[in-house]
Amino acid sequence: MTGVGTPFLASIFTSDAFGYLFDYFVWWALFLSLILHTWCFFQCFPRKRLRRIGLVLGNSLVFLCLLGSVAMVAESYLRFVAVYTDSFGVSLPARRWFALHTSLNSMGCRDHEWSIEKPAGVRRIAFVGDSYTYGWGIERVADRFTDLIQARFDEQEPGAVEVMNVAKPGWSTADEIRPIHDMITVYGADEIVLCYVPNDIEDLIPTTDSFNPTRPPDYQFINLDSSPLLDYLYRRLYLPLVPTVRGYHDWLAKGYADEGIWRAHVEQLNGIVTFCRTHDVSLRVVLLPFLVTSGKKFDGWRILARLRRMFEASNVPVIDLGQLMADRGVNPRSFVVNALDAHPNEAAHALFARAVWAAFYAR
């Protein structure tokens, strides 16, 4: 993910901040050339002799000039002003967002620096997850559900509990095993909270060169890095129609329905349960739902319910936030970051924090 954790001032004159300025000047040159040719047309074209042709060409050129004006305003805004995330984090405004709003510790996590030696009398709780836990799209870390829970602990007994946000975008369950081990054996965590999202199984689901839903396809006919406007239109209008994007959730559903894949995934999760118990570390699980889905086969509530039953059978405390949202009758789409980013927004994180606190920590 380009730009994550990069100080904004250090990248302000690079392609990460504003794209390649040469491309911007080319677009301006083309636009000014259009205006110049339109002016020349009205000055030189024999409109009286070729009235109909002149009327059609003149109106067309004026329309193109107006359209070009709107396009250049949008191009300039998206290139220099807009700061927002999208679901994939690769657009120029998204790269600028990460440069502005994220700072990583030496472990590559979006959190303060942790000391190797646990402070005396401090209870360490490590929340391990992916982009949901990381706070993708959340500008202030204080608004993430993990930090809201930290604030609750500080209200009760300041300094008694250290909440550690151990998360990276794109992590699956397989990626989280090593960090969980490190949190326990290196940092002395007293409790692990596994923050599970339904795509944590995706590393076990086969892909092919022609069908790989784990990454968005690149446009083949033009380099979208040359224009944030074209990139925006591509992601807003075209990308949702691409089979690998449109079929992502059905692809996940197929993986959960495959008994071989499910058994392998359960083995991964049971390995985490066993490791925590072997080291006398508490394990809790938070099941986080997709807020926006596509396809016809994916049933997120059913998948999370299946996972909940699996953890409950192992006597692991678990809260299903998907079921919580369904019970409350909330509209999941009102809890996303923006129209291009289906990650949970600040309101969703606040809801998550209240639910997790009530389920695990309220006295």
192/197 Cα distance (integer angstroms)? 16
177 and 60 share a domain?
Answer: no
Residue 43: inside a domain: yes
Q: What pLDDT is recorded for position 46?
A: 82
Q: pLDDT-derived band of residue 328, with 50, 70 and 90 as boundaries?
A: confident
Residue given tokens 């002003």 in the structure block? 81
DSSP 8-state symbol, 20: -
> CB burial class (10 A; 0-12, 13-18, 19+) of residue 8?
middle
pLDDT in tens, 97-114: 999 999 999 999 999 999
| 272 within 8 A of 196, measured Cβ to Cβ | no
Per-residue pLDDT tens digits for 295-322: 889 999 999 999 999 999 999 999 999 9
Chain centre distance of CA 240: 16
Please indicate, yes or no, whether residues 132 and 281 belong to a single structural domain of this protein.
yes
Q: Are residues 189 and 152 in the same domain?
A: yes
81 and 121 in a single domain? The answer is no
Alpha helices in the chain, H assignment, sequence order: 15-18, 21-44, 51-76, 92-101, 131-134, 145-156, 173-185, 228-233, 243-246, 248-257, 259-278, 300-313, 321-328, 346-356
Look at residues 289, 209, 304, 204 and name the one whose alpha carbon lies nearest to residue 254: 204
Residue 21: Cβ within 10 Å count: 12
Per-residue tokens: 248: 């992502």
List the domain range (segments joined by +) for residue 309. Answer: 114-205+258-361
Tens of pLDDT, residue by residue over 68-97, are: 999 999 999 999 999 999 998 888 899 999
Please give the structure tokens belonging to residue 147. 């930090």
Residue 21: per-residue pLDDT:
83
296 and 349, same domain (yes or no): yes
Answer yes or no: is 231 within a domain. no
Q: Does 131 score more than 80 pLDDT?
A: yes
Q: Which residue has the tokens 């349960």?
A: 273
Residue that is last in its domain, among 36, 66, 98: 98
Which of these ranges, 112-116, 183-187, 327-331, 334-338, has the smallest mean pLDDT?
A: 327-331
Do 275 and 347 lie in one domain? The reply is yes
Is residue 335 scored above 70 in pLDDT? yes
Band the pLDDT of 16: cuts 50, 70, 90.
low
pLDDT digits (tens, 9 = 90+) for 235-272: 888 888 888 888 999 999 999 999 999 999 999 999 99
Q: Is residue 1 one of the residues assigned to a domain?
A: no
Please check the confidence at residue 4 and state whether its pLDDT lies above 80.
Answer: no
* More confident: 315 or 217: 315
Distance CA 223, CA 238 (A): 15
Q: Is residue 253 part of a domain?
A: no
pLDDT at residue 363, rounded to an integer? 76
- 330: confidence class by pLDDT, cuts 50, 70, 90: confident
Do 177 and 317 lie in one domain? The reply is yes
Q: Does residue 248 fall inside a structural domain?
A: no
Please report which confidence band the pLDDT of residue 1 belongs to, taking 50, 70 and 90 as the band edges.
very low
In the chain, the number of structural domains is 2
The string of pLDDT tens digits covering residues 33-44 is: 999 999 998 888
Q: Is residue 178 part of a domain?
A: yes
Residues 6+ apart with CB under 8 A from 155: none
Residue 334 maps to a domain: yes
End residue of a domain, out of 74, 98, 122: 98
Structure confidence at residue 3 as a pLDDT band (50, 70, 90): very low
Give the end of a domain, one of 70, 98, 126.
98
Tell me what pLDDT residue 13 has. 45
Residues 39 and 147 in one domain: no
The Cα 76–Cα 306 span in angstroms is 48
Q: Is the pLDDT of residue 140 over 90?
A: yes
Distance CA(27)–CA(83), nearest Å, equals 21
Dist. CA 324–CA 340, nearest whole Å: 25
Together in a domain, 146 and 24: no
Residues 86, 144, single domain; the answer is no
- Residue 164: pLDDT band with limits 50, 70, 90: very high
Same domain, residue pair 78 and 131? no
Residue 48 vs residues 41, 44, 57, 62, 159: alpha-carbon distances, Å: 13, 11, 13, 18, 84
CB 126 within 8 A of CB 183: yes
Please name every residue paired with 124 in a beta bridge, in sequence order, or none if there are none.
162
Q: Is 84 left (phi over 0), alpha (psi -120 to 50) or beta?
A: beta
Kindly state the helix (H) or strand (E) to which residue 161 belongs, with its residue range. strand 161-167
In this predicted structure, what is the pLDDT of residue 153? 97
Residue 12 scores a pLDDT above 70: no
Whether residues 141 and 18 fall in one domain: no
What CATH number should be reported for the domain holding residue 341? 3.40.50.1110
Smallest CA-to-CA distance from 83 within 290, 227, 222, 228 is with 228
Report pLDDT for 349.
97
Question: What is the chain's mean pLDDT, rounded?
Answer: 91
Tokens of 242: 């691409």
- Compute the 3-state secondary structure of the chain and give helix, strand, coil in percent, each to the nearest 5: 55, 10, 35
Query: 118 in a domain, yes or no?
Result: yes
Instruction: Please state, in angstroms and rounded to a whole number, the distance separating the CA atoms of residues 51 and 59.
Output: 12
